């Protein structure tokens, strides 16, 4: 499968008239290492463009699994609008395959091969989770929502307990242990990312949390960008 994937990349580069490169984000573990029946899309880092990003989606087939290759140097503010565009394009296609998924392509450094992170059902909001919650009065389990915010310095804040709110200050190295301090119950984690974070940072935190054994919490498919 990997061999076929690289042939697809080369055909896209040369059909465009010049070779283009993309620096994929790195992860140290992936549960998904092989996907069949795929179409690729590319988000290139291009300093000559107004927003430094170029989207190539010419080879996408709506009924296949989509591999979205995002250059790790792009910020979330640059990349996410294009990712949302691709999600909407597939959702609104007249030709649908309910089993077809969307994945981010990564370099799995532990296996020295490609790894993939699914984002089919992720809903990206260009606002904070606090703003979102304030607008949704009938949101189920709102008392169990635990927002996690990651700022530009990589500092992590976990809001715990609505009855007696307090903030757990965490880091990339301690977040898994700190999540164990959450109140017992059916907690839902809302991830908040500063829009200035690089896509590499986003993938790092996502992969870290996806492989975590969270006893008292589940990751929401709602994700939020803030400035």
Alpha carbon distance 53, 46 (integer Å): 5
Q: Of the candidates 201, 6, 33, which has an alpha carbon nearest to the alpha carbon of residue 109?
A: 33
CB 43 within 8 A of CB 69: yes
**Are 32 and 54 found together in one domain?**
yes
pLDDT in tens, 196-214: 999 999 999 999 988 887 7
Instruction: Tell me what pLDDT residue 126 has.
Output: 92
pLDDT at res. 161? 61
Boundary (domain end) residue, out of 94, 118, 142: 118
CATH of the domain at 183: 3.30.420
Angstrom distances, CA of residue 63 to CA of 5, 6, 57: 18, 21, 14
Q: Which tokens go with 87?
A: 């999600």
The confidence score (pLDDT) of residue 18 equals: 67
Name residues of the chain where pLDDT drops below 70.
Answer: 1-18, 137-142, 161-165, 183-185
Rounded CA-CA distance 42/205 in Å is: 21
Do 145 and 58 share a domain, yes or no? no
Distance of CA 21 to the CA centre of its chain: 21
How many independent structural domains does the chain possess?
Answer: 2
**One domain for residues 31 and 107:** yes
Q: How many percent of the chain have pLDDT more than 70?
A: 85
Is residue 134 domain-shared with residue 109, that is, in the same domain? no
What pLDDT, on the 0 to 100 scale, is given for residue 51?
82
My answer on whether 114 and 129 are in the same domain is no
144 burial type by CB count under 10 A (0-12 exposed, 13-18 middle, 19+ buried): middle
Domain that holds residue 173: 123-226
Co-location of 172 and 90 in the same domain:
no
C-beta atoms surrounding 189 within 10 Å:
21
Secondary element (H or E) of residue 29 = none
CA distances from 205 to 89, 193, 216 (A): 27, 10, 19
């Amino acid at each position: 499968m990997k061999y076929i994937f690289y042939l697809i990349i080369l055909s896209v580069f040369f059909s465009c008239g010049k070779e283009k490169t993309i620096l994929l984000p790195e992860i140290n573990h992936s549960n998904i290492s092989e996907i069949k029946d795929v179409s690729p899309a590319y988000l290139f880092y291009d300093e000559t463009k107004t927003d430094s990003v170029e989207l190539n989606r010419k080879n996408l087939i709506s009924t296949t699994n989509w591999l979205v290759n995002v250059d790790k140097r792009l910020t979330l503010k640059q990349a996410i609008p294009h990712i949302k565009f691709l999600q909407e394009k597939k959702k609104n296609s007249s030709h649908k395959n309910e089993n077809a998924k969307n994945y981010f392509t990564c370099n799995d450094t532990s296996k020295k091969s490609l790894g993939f992170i699914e984002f089919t059902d992720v809903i990206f909001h260009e606002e904070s989770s606090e703003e979102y919650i304030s607008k949704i009065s009938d949101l189920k389990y709102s008392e169990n929502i635990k927002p996690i915010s990651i700022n530009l310095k990589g500092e992590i804040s976990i809001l715990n307990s609505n009855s007696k709110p307090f903030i757990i200050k965490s880091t990339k190295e301690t977040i898994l242990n700190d999540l164990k301090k959450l109140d017992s119950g059916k907690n839902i984690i809302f991830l908040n990312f500063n829009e200035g974070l690089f896509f590499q940072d986003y993938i790092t935190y996502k992969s870290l949390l996806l492989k975590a054994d969270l006893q008292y919490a589940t990751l929401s498919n709602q994700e939020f960008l803030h400035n």
